[in-house]
């Protein structure tokens, strides 16, 4: 923009764009490509997915990567906002024979023991997964467990007749994340 334009009050289009204000960005605003710091690592947001849990409940999941480490940050609202940070593990790592038990009984056991902690089933049901937040929704079954101390969680998901995924993690707080920046 030249001096003449400035004197006449003409504004540069770039100057009219609102500046990015990192103090106003919240964790729930994360988008693919953004960066966020957690636990002394910088994580890149790879994807943002949505789960329709039925009865008006939904969960948002961000896939995060720091080096070779991949985690899933999940946000749910149910009498408050709850955040969990999960990582996928083989189903057999949770308990040996777990897949066989689910196939024979159509449900996993109501209690699990994993890495020295006892877990109790707190919810289960059917849901739909929306990859990158877009239709079509892929149906699946889920079972959620919480540790007796209320700090850790396990989720088991069944996709189709015999395909299973398991995730383990912990409850986290929004204040534990910092430096949320678009790339």
Nearest CA-CA partner of 156 in 130, 116, 119, 104? 119
CA distances from 46 to 34, 61, 70, 121, 124 (A): 8, 11, 9, 30, 27
Per-residue pLDDT tens for 10-42? 555 555 555 666 667 899 999 999 999 999 999
Mean of pLDDT values over 98-115: 96
CB atoms within 10 A of CB 147: 20
CB atoms within 10 A of CB 49: 17
pLDDT of the residue at 7: 53
Mean of pLDDT values over 66-92: 95
Distance CA 82, CA 10 (A): 48
Joined together, the tokens standing for residue 89 give 């593990």
Rg from Cα positions in the chain: 21
Q: Is the pTM of this model over 0.75?
A: yes
Per-residue pLDDT tens for 121-152? 999 999 999 999 999 999 999 999 999 999 99
pLDDT of the residue at 76: 93
């Amino acid at each position: 923009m030249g001096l003449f334009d400035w004197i006449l009050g003409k504004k540069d289009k770039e100057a009219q764009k609102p500046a990015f204000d990192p103090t106003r960005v919240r964790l729930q605003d994360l988008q693919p490509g953004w960066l966020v710091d957690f636990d002394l690592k910088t994580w890149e947001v790879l994807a943002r997915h949505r789960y329709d849990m039925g009865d008006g409940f939904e969960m948002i999941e961000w896939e995060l990567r720091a080096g070779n480490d991949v985690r899933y940050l999940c946000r749910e609202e149910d009498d408050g906002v709850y955040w969990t940070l999960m990582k996928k593990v083989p189903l057999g790592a949770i308990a040996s024979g777990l897949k066989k038990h689910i196939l024979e009984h159509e449900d996993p056991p109501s209690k699990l023991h994993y890495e020295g902690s006892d877990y109790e089933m707190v919810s289960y049901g059917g849901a739909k997964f929306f990859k990158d937040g877009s239709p079509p929704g892929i149906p699946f079954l889920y079972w959620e467990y919480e540790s007796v101390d209320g700090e850790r969680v396990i989720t088991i998901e069944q996709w189709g007749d015999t395909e299973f995924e398991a995730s383990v993690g912990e409850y986290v707080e929004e204040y534990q994340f910092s430096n949320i920046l678009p790339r």
